[in-house]
A = this chain, B = another copy of it.
Amino acid sequence: DKTSYNLPFFLQTQTFVSAKLLYDFLTAHLKKLMSDEKCSAEKVTEMEDVITQMDNYTQQELADLFVKYNVKSPSTGNDLTPPTSFNLMFQTSIGPGGNMPGYLRPETAQGMFLNFKRLLEFNQGKLPFGAAQIGNSFRNEISPRSGLIRVREFTMAEIEHFVDPNEKVHPKFSNVADLEITLFSSKAQTSGQSAQIMRLGDAVEQGVINNSVLGYFIGRIYLYLIKVGLSKDKVRFRQHMDNEMAHYACDCWDAESKTSYGWIETVGCADRSCYDLSCHSRATKVPLVAEKPLKEPISFYLNVVQFEPNKGAIGMAYKKDAKLALEYLAVCDECYISDQEKLLSEKGEFSFETEGKTFTLTKDMVSVRRFQKSLHVQEIVPNVIEPSFGIGRIMYSIFEHSFHIRQGDEQRTYFSFPATVAPYKCSILPLSHNQEFVPFVHQLSEAMTRNGVSHKVDDSSGSIGRRYARSDEIGVAFGITVDFDTVNKTPHTATLRDRDSMRQIRAEVAELPEIVRDLANGTLMWAEVERKYPIFEGQETSRKE
């Protein structure tokens, strides 16, 4: 978990995000022009072309388009400055001198890639394995807006699941294969079709989803979103189209949630192939690979490409620094070696910098050797499946999807948060200020604390109906009322009320905290509670006033 990153390949992702806002802005402008009746069919086709190719324009071409289509500031009508590059990472300086730049991380993921070797070791060198992280990320958004949807500081949770690229099959896929999920494939988007509900197993089988590991995580993301309170009919998975997918990803699906702001991305789920590990590996010259024991004890042949340094010549030229050059040459990857080999043959030399020193090596100092090596284990660069959760956006969606109005009473609103995520699981309400209720309220409250059930005692004045309405308004899942029967009858019982159905049962005070605990943990359903305990009828209304 690092405060700062100076790795250049972050910028790419960030530039992408920034450019996307620009594309959206220009697209909206063009669509407005196209909707004008006076716009000729020819012009419409031209603008449609521009929209399709949006991703492929250079900065200058984009600037020209802004002039050509007369794009003005929406608020003032003034001319716009041409688009400029802008780093979405927040910069700061570290240490008292002020000359060591640092950047706030724009995502949590990279820390897990940097720790890959340790994580692999922790899993006893075996694939597959996963790591997960939750934390804050920071992006210097140009125009934060839409509540929790576009903010400059936000909580992300990311999973990096590392797999053998030759074994992209998830053993538990069958657990989710029967889920029926709304999928909006890239093909459907391109051909103007709408999203369609598919069985997840069929989607993987038919190649709509690239592989069953990706499919497994799509299934688990879906189950998670539904469990925390999103509506089934307001969740879909949209596949990235070729032009919006990062060049290294082999497939990418966004879980989207339908809100008053339209469909918004809440979770990204990408198969990032071996991109991140390869990049870190190249930047740090540390191989980030897993070793795969071969099932058959036969050796297998690997094509090896390596630098063959002339130690004497390098030593002569660089004296005590020669060791640094030799260390550097020893860890270069094939791709880099081939590039330098070309330079050697074309220009007779190549240069590099390591540990702050620059070296220029000539043909007599280094050559490239290619040979086959017999190995008993195979070295593989794992692929990574990356589900990436925008916690704020998920929370925002829960709020929208859980907000309801009681039928026939527009003043009575409530949040139908599932008990698992409701901040308070239960309200405890004494019927009135009568002192006889106090010991029962205490007993219930203490037992709930012991059982780890978050709850709220509301002994303020106000009718029981009014206090229930207040409890519903903030999404408390259940409510217990202590009344005169609690005090006067043995065994002592109280009512337990379900927020969504407003139905009530009556159970012993001693049992209630554990019933609520099990309801809140999801190990007990309200329907079961109703079967087991006597229904308590029609009291809420009569108690209202």
| Residues of chain A whose beta carbon lies under 8 Å from any beta carbon of chain B | 1, 3, 86, 90-96, 104, 124, 135-136, 138, 140, 142, 152-153, 460
Q: A135-B136, A136-B135 are in contact. Are A3 and B94 (CB under 8 A)?
A: no
Instruction: Name 9 A/B residue pairs within 8 A (Cβ), A-sorted.
Output: A90-B94, A95-B140, A95-B142, A96-B140, A96-B142, A104-B104, A124-B460, A135-B136, A136-B136
Closest to A102 in B: B90
Question: Which B-chain residue is minimally distant from A521 (CB atoms)?
Answer: B452
State the 4 A-B residue pairs at the shortest beta-carbon distance, nearest first. A3-B153, A90-B92, A92-B92, A96-B142
List chain B residues, Cβ under 8 A from A460: 124
Which residues in B have their C-beta under 8 angstroms from that of A94?
90, 140, 152
- Min CB distance A176 to B, Å, is 15
Total copies of the chain: 2
SS of A interface (majority): loop
A138 & B3 in contact (Cβ 8 Å cutoff): yes
Task: Give the chain B neighbours of A124 by CB distance below 8 A.
Answer: 460
Let me know if B95 and A92 touch, CB within 8 A: no
- Provide the residues of chain B in CB contact with A152, threshold 8 Å: 3, 94
Q: How far is the CA of A153 from the CA of B142 in the complex (A)?
A: 25
A242 → chain B, closest Cβ, in Å? 30
How long is the Cα–Cα vector from A460 to B104 in the complex, in angstroms?
40
Q: How many angstroms between the C-alpha atoms of A124 and B96 in the bound complex?
A: 46
Q: Which residues of B contact A86 (CB under 8 A)?
A: 96
Determine how close the nearest CB of chain B comes to the CB of A403; give it in whole angstroms.
19
Taking CB as reference atom, which chain B residue is nearest A18?
B96
Given contacts A91-B93, A104-B104, 5 further A-B contacts (CB under 8 A): A1-B153, A3-B153, A90-B92, A91-B92, A96-B142
Name the distance in Å between A139's Cβ and chain B's nearest Cβ.
11
Smallest CB separation, A307 vs chain B (Å):
36
